[in-house]
Amino acid sequence: MSDEFQDIARRFRPLTFGAPEALELMDDAAVIPSRSGFDLVVTKDALVEGVHFLSGERPDRVARKLLRTNLSDLAAKGAEPYGCFLAVSWPPHYDAEARDQFAKVLGEDLSHFGLSLFGGDTTSTPGPLTLSLTALGWVPQGQMVRRKGARIGDDLMVTGTIGDGYLGLLAAQGRLAMLTPEQNLALEERYHHPRPRLGLGQALRAHATACADVSDGLAADAGHIAAASAVGLRIDLEQVPMSAAASAWLELQDDPVAARLALVTGGDDYELVFTVPPDQREALVADAAVLGIDVTLIGKVVSGSGVTLSWRGAVQNISALGYQHRQ
């Protein structure tokens, strides 16, 4: 059995891609240079087996989800990915082959998104697989898009489709037998492999007033914008975009309004919800179209506080807006 430092050198040093900041992972630290005219954006997320992903999940899926959920946070800030730090606590059931697969696929995704690994730590644990990744990104000085900034009268918009993450988890658990194998596969793909909307950064910086990534649920994450901006938000449920697979699921539900509420509160979509002045909306839509990203108008910034969910003008009452992190 090799020791920790041998494992780091073999599995993770290649993931630095020779970045000088990483110091070959030999110094238990990294050196981050300044970049003139830019701010460094730092975000951190943790994943725990059996909480944030299914117990016994494939190593490649865990690696991709860990990186991409963090990159979704950078995307919401309009930031360009730069590098990351990784901490992993390996449980006994994660053998050498699983660890190698995790490192291999993480390296592939880091390369795809243009990041280098700058450092981190590895430990052992008797408990579940536990991972934490700190992602760094650059944004032009003073231009980071915050949750705070939405103004009354702004339009509320979202990228992509909503509800696929929630349904993807059900599909992965074998609970969507009413859908076709192709539909199940499409939903599982969305759950296992988030698609961080990094390309939209410049358009968000130019046009959006506030933004959040959709991790805990569309309604909950819109609520973060409302709270930070001290405004109210109205989401028109009939306008929320759904994928073909989610639409097929909706058609099979006895209560379509309750089903839509489940989709907008389910989480794991990793799309972006943002506000934009009405006179800037067309320009942002055009910029997104060039990138092949669909954006949809789903509501409005209004006076008051919190999030109002509306179905064809009728306000819907629910107990929770999305996933709640219990401490």
For the stretch 224-271, pLDDT in tens is: 999 999 999 999 999 999 999 999 999 999 999 999 999 999 999 999
CATH class of 4-140: alpha beta
Q: What is the pLDDT of residue 2?
A: 56
Taking only the tens place, the pLDDT of each residue in 204-216 is 999 999 999 999 9
Q: What is the pLDDT of residue 83?
A: 98
Q: What is the pLDDT of residue 6?
A: 86
Residue 289: both structure tokens together: 């179209």
Q: What average pLDDT does this structure show over 50-78? A: 96
For residue 306, give every residue at least 6 positions away whose Cβ sits within 8 Å of its Cβ, in sequence order, or none. 223, 226, 227, 232, 233
The answer to whether residue 324 scores a pLDDT higher than 70 is no
Taking only the tens place, the pLDDT of each residue in 153-201 is 999 999 999 999 999 999 999 999 999 999 999 999 999 999 999 999 9
Q: What is the pLDDT of residue 207?
A: 98
The answer to whether residue 4 scores a pLDDT higher than 80 is no
The answer to whether residue 326 scores a pLDDT higher than 70 is no
Q: What is the pLDDT of residue 322?
A: 56
Burial of 201 (0-12, 13-18, 19+ CB in 10 A): buried
Confidence of residue 60 (pLDDT cuts 50, 70, 90): very high
The answer to whether residue 319 scores a pLDDT higher than 80 is no
Interhelix angle 181-192/244-251, nearest 10 degrees? 120
The answer to whether residue 117 scores a pLDDT higher than 90 is yes
pLDDT top residue among 9 and 113: 113
Report how far residue 136's alpha carbon sits from residue 79's, in angstroms, rounded to the nearest whole number. 9
The CATH homologous superfamily of the domain defined by 155-316: PurM-like C-terminal domain (3.90.650.10)
pLDDT top residue among 104 and 318: 104
Q: What is the pLDDT of residue 325?
A: 44
The answer to whether residue 99 scores a pLDDT higher than 50 is yes
- CB-side exposure of 298: number of CA atoms within 13 Å? 28
Strand partners for 46: 132
The answer to whether residue 28 scores a pLDDT higher than 90 is no
Q: What is the pLDDT of residue 317?
A: 82
Candidates 296, 65, 294, 75; CA nearest to 190 is: 65
Return the domain boundaries, the chain: 4-140, 155-316
Report how far residue 267's alpha carbon sits from residue 298's, in angstroms, rounded to the nearest whole number. 17
Q: What average pLDDT does this structure show over 43-69? A: 95
Q: What is the pLDDT of residue 327?
A: 45
Q: What is the pTM of this model?
A: 0.93
Question: CA–CA distance from 280 to each of 133, 277, 287, 299 (Å)?
Answer: 35, 5, 11, 15
The answer to whether residue 85 scores a pLDDT higher than 50 is yes
